[in-house]
Structure 1
Amino acid sequence: MEKGLNILKWAEEDRPREKLLLKGKAALSDAELIAILIGSGSRELSAVDLSKKILSNSNNDLNTLAKQSVSELQQFKGVGEAKAISIMSALELGRRRKVFQSAKKLKISNSKDAYELMKPELTDQPVEQFWVIMLKRNNEVIQKRVISLGGVSGTVADPKVIFKKALEDLASGIILVHNHPSGNLKPSQADIKLTEKLKNAGELLEIPVLDHIIFTDDGYYSFADESLI
């Protein structure tokens, strides 16, 4: 394998750290930003070349890269545990930043609002999770509550737990949200039956289920939009 050019021999404006100082962070490519995180490459590849290889393995998609585990990142020669943790930590900080951005929108007017509100929690998640958005009478968000964490193919949502939390929050309405890590937007028969069960329970308790969102990284399915609730 041809050896990559040592980063110290590059022109100053082409070294990631120096380039950031000279031109600003926006001037750096994703690979250059990751190169700053890992600091050095391997004997065969510079930090930037190694970063390009890591990104290429994730189809140059940061969302896909964010799903990689420490052990998966360590499969790349030149990436040890510390470097893998640095990459994961930076991507997690980016995800958490979205939490603060989404918190500015505290009122749900439609299914897209609910989907956007849940992006910080459910984007890049490798297993199914079930959440409930608690709402005031005017559809202002009280808070988001995680109900259960499951496996790749499913999770359990206990109606008693859901409405216990809704009563504790004095919610006037709720929106159900669960993700499909597979990316499949079609609701399963289990999803449809659970939604009907929770809808009926909500009517009895005067805490209406306003929608059920199936979340994927690339889009969502709304039971309300499809007139299934």
Structure 2
Amino acid sequence: MSIKILAIDDRPREKFLLKGRNSVSDSELLAIIMGSGSKQETAVELARKILASVDHNWHQLSLLSVKDLMKFKGVGEVKAISIATALEIGRRRSGQEVSEKTIVSNSDDAYQVFKNQLSDLRAEEFWAIFLNQSNKVVHISKLTQGGISQSVVDVRILFKTALDHYSTGIIIAHNHPSGSLKPSREDINITQKIQEAGKFLNVQLLDHLIITQNAYFSFSDEGLL
């Protein structure tokens, strides 16, 4: 069944143009991204099936790999890459919404900055927020990307970045793809190492967050800093 023979309200591209972006449903948006369905299903029907498999949750959909998406009949490599690309654009766009000069005064403020970058990754990454004396964000940076279990942090790069932006405080964060919020021995060691290095440079480590899909652990809140 071709989209061309459907009623005008069921043609997602035409509906988007005539009625605006807010008029289309999630399945219609996904159908537009895919471009076509299969011999048995329209793009909209296929999109409904894909979204139903993740409880209509875009975040859960973003966790699927290209190979996972290709398991749906009618989704080849090109469609799978198109879906993954659109979701990655959305993730990056969300991250850019955090403007510099945002004030970070507690762990939840920091989590709001970091979560769009770290909550849905399959590999571990290490990020930092650099703050001025008024706790305003002057720079946000990804410093390392590691394997599935660990991310190696170069303390020299961390503090060079801090000094380059005249920061007086930093908050670091990394994700645990496993979903565990418990800090590892390596997490504790690198936190202590960064904290000690900061004392010599007069750049204070304010917090270290461990981030999972829906929660976070704060070294500062737990009295580990």
TM-score between both structures, scaled by the size of structure 1? 0.88
Q: CA RMSD in A?
A: 2.1
Residues 1:105 and 1:163: Cα distance change in structure 2 (over 3 Å)? closer
Find the counterpart in structure 2 of residue 114 from structure 1. Answer: 110
Distance 1:123 1:29 in 2: 25
Matched, 1:103 2:113: no
Find the counterpart in structure 2 of residue 210 from structure 1. Answer: 206
Matched, 1:72 2:99: no
Distance 1:76 1:190 in 2: 40
Is the Cα contact below 8 Å between 1:103 and 1:117 reproduced in 2?
no
Find the counterpart in structure 1 of residue 20 from structure 2. Answer: 24
Distance 1:19 1:162 in 2: 48
Matched, 1:143 2:143: no
Write the letter of the residue equivalent to 1:11. A
Deviation at 1:21, TM superposition (A): 4.0
Is the Cα contact below 8 Å between 2:101 and 2:138 reproduced in 1?
no
Is the Cα contact below 8 Å between 2:129 and 2:141 reproduced in 1?
yes
**Pairing of 1:146-157 with structure 2 (within 5 A):** 146-157=142-153
- Helix, strand or coil: the match of 1:217? coil
Deviation at 1:175, TM superposition (A): 0.7
Write the letter of the residue equivalent to 1:49. E
Distance 1:8 1:26 in 2: 22
Picking from 188, 192, 196, the partner of 1:196 is 192
Distance 1:165 1:14 in 2: 51
Find the counterpart in structure 2 of residue 62 from structure 1. Answer: 58
Deviation at 1:194, TM superposition (A): 2.0
Distance 2:22 2:220 in 1: 40
Equivalent pairs counted in the alignment come to: 225
CA displacement 1:146-198 (0-9 Å, x = unmatched): 22111111111132332233223322111111111122222222212221222
Deviation at 1:45, TM superposition (A): 1.5
Write the letter of the residue equivalent to 2:118. L
Distance 1:94 1:119 in 2: 13
- Give the share of equivalent positions with the same residue, in percent: 48
Distance 1:156 1:18 in 2: 49
Distance 2:216 2:57 in 1: 20
Find the counterpart in structure 2 of residue 164 from structure 1. Answer: 160
Give ranges in structure 2 of 5+ residues lacking alignment.
none
- Helix, strand or coil: the match of 1:102? coil
CA displacement 1:56-79 (0-9 Å, x = unmatched): 333322112123333332232222
- Helix, strand or coil: the match of 1:60? coil
Residues 1:10 and 1:104: Cα distance change in structure 2 (over 3 Å)? farther
Is the Cα contact below 8 Å between 2:100 and 2:137 reproduced in 1?
no
Deviation at 1:6, TM superposition (A): 4.1
Distance 1:137 1:45 in 2: 58
Distance 1:41 1:158 in 2: 47
Write the letter of the residue equivalent to 1:124. D
